[in-house]
Structure 1
Amino acid sequence: MGRAEERRARQRGGRRAASDRRSSGTAGAGGKGRIRALFTWKKILGTFLGVCVLLMGGFIVLYMMIDIPEVGNDDAESQGNVYKYSDGSIMARKGYNREIVELAQVPKAVQHTFVAAENKSFYKDSGVDLRGTTRGLLNTLSGKGTQGGSTITQQYVKNYYLTQDQTVSRKLKELVISLKLDRSKSKDYILAGYINTSFYGRNAYGIQAAAQAYYRVDAKDLTVEQGAYLAALLQAPVQYDWALAGDTSKRLVQQRWNYVLDNMVDMDWLDAGDRRDMKFPVPKKPRPAPGMGGQTGYLVEAANTALGRQLVETGAAEDRKQADAMVDRGGWTITLNIDKKKQKALEGAVREKLTSRLDPKARGVDADIQAGAVSVDPKTGAVVAMYGGVDYLKHYVNNATRSDYQPASTFKPVILAAAVDKDAETQEGVPITDTTRYDGTSKRPVVDKGREVGFAPENEDDQNYGEITVQQAMNLSVNSVFAQMGVDVGMPEVVKVAGRLGMDTEGMDPVPAQTLGSMGASPLEMAGVYATLDNHGRRVTPAMVKSAEQNGRGVDFPEPVGEQVISREAADTVTSVLTGVVDDGTARRAVWDNPLRDGQQVAGKTGTSDNNKSAWFTGFTPGLVTSVGLFGEDDKEPHPQAPMYGAGGEDRVNGGGFPAQIWAAYTFGVMDEVTEFDLETKQGAAVRPTTKPSPTTSPSASPSPEETPEETPTEEETPKETPSKEETPEETPEPPRTTPELPTTSPSTEPPPDEGESTAPEEPPVPEDERPQP
Structure 2
Amino acid sequence: MGRAEERRARQRGGHRAAPKRHRSAPTAATPADGRPGRPPKGRSGKPPKGRIRRLFTWKKILGTFFTLCLLVIAAFIGLYLYVDIPAGNADAQLQSNIYKYSDGTMLTRTGYLNRESVDLSEVPKDVQRTFVAAENKNFYHDAGVDLQGTARGILNTVMGRGTQGGSTITQQYVKNYYLDQNQTVTRKLKELVISLKLDRQKSKDYILAGYINTSYYGRGAYGIQAAAQAYYHKDAKNLTVEEGAYLAALLQAPNQYDWAIASDTGKKFAQARWNYVLDNMVKQNWLDASKRQAMKFEVPKAPKAAPGMKGQTGYLVDAANAQLEKQLVAQGKANSLGDAEALVKKGGWTITLNIDRKKQRELEQAVKEQLTSKLDAKKRSVDGDVQPGAASVDPKTGKVLAMYGGADYFQHYTNNATRRDYQPASTFKPVILAAALAEGAQTQDGQPITASTIYDGTSGRQVVDHGSKVGFGPPNEDKQDYGPITVQTAMNQSVNSVFAQMGVDVGMDKVMSVAGKLGMDTKGMEAVPAQTLGSMGASPLEMAGIYATLANHGEKVTPAIIKSADHKDSSVTLPDPIGDQVIPREAADTVTSVLTGVVDDGTARDSVAKNPARDGQQVAGKTGTSDNNKSAWFTGYTPGLVTSVGLFGESAKSHAQVPLTGATGLISGSGRINGGTYPAKIWAAYTFEAMGDVTKFDLNTTQGAAVQPSYTPMPSSTPSHSPSHTPSSTPSTSTSPSHSPSHAPTQSPTQSPTQSPTQSPTQSPTGGISDNPIDPGGGQNFGQ
TM over 0.5: yes
Aligned to 2:637: 620
Give the C-alpha shift of residue 670 in structure 1. 1.1
Q: 2:691 aligns with which of 671, 689, 700?
A: 671
Is the CA contact 1:579–1:687 (under 8 Å) kept in the aligned structure 2?
no
Structure 1 residue 360 corresponds to structure 2 residue 369: no
Q: In structure 2, what residue type is equivalent to 1:82?
A: I
- Structure 1 426/66 Cα, relative in aligned 2: closer, same or farther at 3 Å? farther
Q: 1:93 aligns with which of 88, 109, 116?
A: 109
Aligned to 2:648: 631
Structure 2 counterparts to residues 436-447 of structure 1, below 5 A: 436-447=453-464
Q: In structure 1, what residue type is equivalent to 2:648?
A: F
Percent identity of paired positions between Structure 1 and Structure 2? 66
Q: Deviations over 1:608-629 (max 9, x none)?
A: 1100000000000000000000
Give the C-alpha shift of residue 705 in structure 1. 14
Aligned to 1:38: none
Q: Deviations over 1:106-138 (max 9, x none)?
A: xxxxxxxxxxxxxxxxxxxxxxxxxxxxxxxxx
Is the CA contact 2:496–2:769 (under 8 Å) kept in the aligned structure 1?
no
Q: 2:773 aligns with which of 758, 765, 769?
A: 758
Q: In structure 2, what residue type is equivalent to 1:469?
A: T
Aligned to 1:382: 399
Give the C-alpha shift of residue 630 in structure 1. 0.2
Q: 1:80 aligns with which of 82, 88, 96?
A: 96
Equivalents in 2 of 1:706, 1:509: separation in Å? 37
Equivalents in 2 of 1:326, 1:366: separation in Å? 40
Give the C-alpha shift of residue 741 in structure 1. 11
Report the secondary structure of 1:581's partner residue: helix
- Structure 1 97/452 Cα, relative in aligned 2: closer, same or farther at 3 Å? farther
Q: Deviations over 1:257-283 (max 9, x none)?
A: xxxxxxxxxxxxxxxxxxxxxxxxxxx
Aligned to 2:129: none
Is the CA contact 1:483–1:512 (under 8 Å) kept in the aligned structure 2?
yes
Q: Deviations over 1:314-367 (max 9, x none)?
A: 111111111101111111111000000000000000000000111111111000
**Gap runs ≥5 in structure 1:** 1-64, 99-159, 162-288, 690-699, 713-737, 748-752, 765-774
**Gap runs ≥5 in structure 2:** 1-80, 115-176, 179-305, 725-740, 746-756, 762-767, 780-784
Is the CA contact 2:437–2:587 (under 8 Å) kept in the aligned structure 1?
yes
Equivalents in 2 of 1:367, 1:684: separation in Å? 40
Give the C-alpha shift of residue 756 in structure 1. 3.4
- Structure 1 741/600 Cα, relative in aligned 2: closer, same or farther at 3 Å? farther
Q: In structure 1, what residue type is equivalent to 2:691?
A: M
Aligned to 1:470: 487
- Structure 1 492/701 Cα, relative in aligned 2: closer, same or farther at 3 Å? closer
Q: 2:531 aligns with which of 486, 501, 514?
A: 514
- Structure 1 66/502 Cα, relative in aligned 2: closer, same or farther at 3 Å? farther
Aligned to 2:658: 642
Structure 2 counterparts to residues 674-689 of structure 1, below 5 A: 674-686=694-706
The structure with more radius of gyration = 2
Aligned to 1:314: 331
Give the C-alpha shift of residue 760 in structure 1. 2.1
Structure 2 counterparts to residues 577-616 of structure 1, below 5 A: 577-616=594-633
Report the secondary structure of 2:510's partner residue: helix
Q: Deviations over 1:657-691 (max 9, x none)?
A: 000000000000112100000000142543579xx
- Structure 1 762/446 Cα, relative in aligned 2: closer, same or farther at 3 Å? closer
- Structure 1 454/84 Cα, relative in aligned 2: closer, same or farther at 3 Å? same
- Structure 1 645/72 Cα, relative in aligned 2: closer, same or farther at 3 Å? same
Q: In structure 2, what residue type is equivalent to 1:538?
A: E
Is the CA contact 1:381–1:561 (under 8 Å) kept in the aligned structure 2?
yes
Equivalents in 2 of 1:402, 1:615: separation in Å? 14
Is the CA contact 1:469–1:739 (under 8 Å) kept in the aligned structure 2?
no
Report the secondary structure of 1:590's partner residue: helix
Moved more, 447-456 or 527-536: 447-456
- Structure 1 746/450 Cα, relative in aligned 2: closer, same or farther at 3 Å? closer
Aligned to 2:311: 294
Give the C-alpha shift of residue 310 in structure 1. 0.8
- Structure 1 322/342 Cα, relative in aligned 2: closer, same or farther at 3 Å? same
- Structure 1 761/392 Cα, relative in aligned 2: closer, same or farther at 3 Å? farther
Is the CA contact 1:707–1:744 (under 8 Å) kept in the aligned structure 2?
no
Aligned to 1:449: 466
Equivalents in 2 of 1:394, 1:684: separation in Å? 44
Give the C-alpha shift of residue 701 in structure 1. 9.4
Aligned to 2:225: none
Structure 1 residue 573 corresponds to structure 2 residue 590: yes
Is the CA contact 1:459–1:756 (under 8 Å) kept in the aligned structure 2?
yes
Report the secondary structure of 1:569's partner residue: helix
Give the C-alpha shift of residue 70 in structure 1. 3.9
Give the C-alpha shift of residue 305 in structure 1. 0.9
Structure 1 residue 396 corresponds to structure 2 residue 413: yes
Is the CA contact 1:654–1:754 (under 8 Å) kept in the aligned structure 2?
no
TM-score, normalised to structure 1's length?
0.57
Q: In structure 2, what residue type is equivalent to 1:653?
A: I
Is the CA contact 1:472–1:739 (under 8 Å) kept in the aligned structure 2?
no
Q: In structure 2, what residue type is equivalent to 1:663?
A: W
Report the secondary structure of 2:441's partner residue: coil
Give the C-alpha shift of residue 300 in structure 1. 0.8
- Structure 1 68/684 Cα, relative in aligned 2: closer, same or farther at 3 Å? same
Report the secondary structure of 1:605's partner residue: strand
Q: Deviations over 1:408-444 (max 9, x none)?
A: 1000100000000111000111110000001111111
Equivalents in 2 of 1:519, 1:704: separation in Å? 36
Structure 2 counterparts to residues 324-363 of structure 1, below 5 A: 324-363=341-380
Equivalents in 2 of 1:740, 1:409: separation in Å? 31
Is the CA contact 2:662–2:672 (under 8 Å) kept in the aligned structure 1?
yes
Structure 1 residue 529 corresponds to structure 2 residue 546: yes
Equivalents in 2 of 1:81, 1:331: separation in Å? 5
Give the C-alpha shift of residue 290 in structure 1. 8.2
- Structure 1 701/566 Cα, relative in aligned 2: closer, same or farther at 3 Å? closer
Equivalents in 1 of 2:364, 2:550: separation in Å? 26
- Structure 1 614/739 Cα, relative in aligned 2: closer, same or farther at 3 Å? farther
TM-score, normalised to structure 2's length?
0.57
Equivalents in 2 of 1:67, 1:512: separation in Å? 72
Is the CA contact 1:331–1:551 (under 8 Å) kept in the aligned structure 2?
yes
Q: Deviations over 1:580-634 (max 9, x none)?
A: 0000000001111000000000000000110000000000000000000000000
Equivalents in 2 of 1:330, 1:578: separation in Å? 45
Question: What is the number of equivalent residue pairs in this alignment?
Answer: 472
Equivalents in 2 of 1:77, 1:321: separation in Å? 21
Structure 1 residue 658 corresponds to structure 2 residue 678: yes
Is the CA contact 2:423–2:537 (under 8 Å) kept in the aligned structure 1?
yes
Q: In structure 2, what residue type is equivalent to 1:562?
A: G
Equivalents in 1 of 2:441, 2:769: separation in Å? 27
- Structure 1 454/709 Cα, relative in aligned 2: closer, same or farther at 3 Å? closer
Give the C-alpha shift of residue 534 in structure 1. 0.1
Structure 1 residue 505 corresponds to structure 2 residue 522: yes
Equivalents in 1 of 2:742, 2:360: separation in Å? 38
Aligned to 1:188: none
